[in-house]
Structure 1
Amino acid sequence: MTAANPSAMVEGRAVVRSSRPVVEIAGARWPLYKVHALLAALIVAMFTVVLTGSGQAAAWASGVALVVVWWTERLLSGGRPR
């Protein structure tokens, strides 16, 4: 039987600093563009369901809103993609 090396079992987490603004949600750091994208998708989904009554239309519209806001804010923030 061999002895386990305790130092080999410890995994380190690298801390990455970003120039983008972040928000801490439940202990996790989220870039602000992700939060904006999720909020935009939620708002678009609610309005689409109210106006059309269709869940399928709401899913497509909110998906499009999420992707457009996510990538627009990410690219305009000037940061390097990860």
Structure 2
Amino acid sequence: MTSANITALVEVRPARARASARSVEIAGTRWPVYKLHALLAAVVVGVLALAITGSVQAVAWASAVALITVWWTERFWQSRRHR
């Protein structure tokens, strides 16, 4: 009978890799700052799209594009800065 190697099933990341990312603690959970920026951008763009167009569909598309763009752009720049 063979035994499973538990250490091969667990991915271990160095503690300094996590500590280098900027984060904010919300309700006991650490959130990267780029996620908060993306949510804020989506809300602002959504409110502006609603005021300009009055269309809920336009709000959904505009806020989704803003959220994804800010999220991935800041995530990319943050990962490049901490290499």
Q: What TM-score bracket applies, with the shorter chain setting the length?
A: 0.7 to 0.9
User: Structure 2 counterpart of 1:51, which letter?
Assistant: I
User: Structure 1 runs of 4+ off > 2 angstroms?
Assistant: none
User: Structure 2 counterpart of 1:39, which letter?
Assistant: L
d(CA) in 1 for partners of 2:19, 2:60: 31
Structure 1: 5+ residue stretches without partners: 1-15
Structure 2: 5+ residue stretches without partners: 1-14
In structure 2, the residue matched to 1:12 is none
In structure 1, the residue matched to 2:36 is 35
User: Structure 1 counterpart of 2:26, which letter?
Assistant: I
Provide the alpha-carbon RMSD of the alignment. Answer: 1.7
Cα deviation, residue 18, structure 1? 3.4
What's the TM-score once normalised by structure 2's chain length?
0.73
d(CA) in 2 for partners of 1:32, 1:63: 18
Identity %: 58
What's the TM-score once normalised by structure 1's chain length?
0.74
Name the one with the larger helix percent.
2
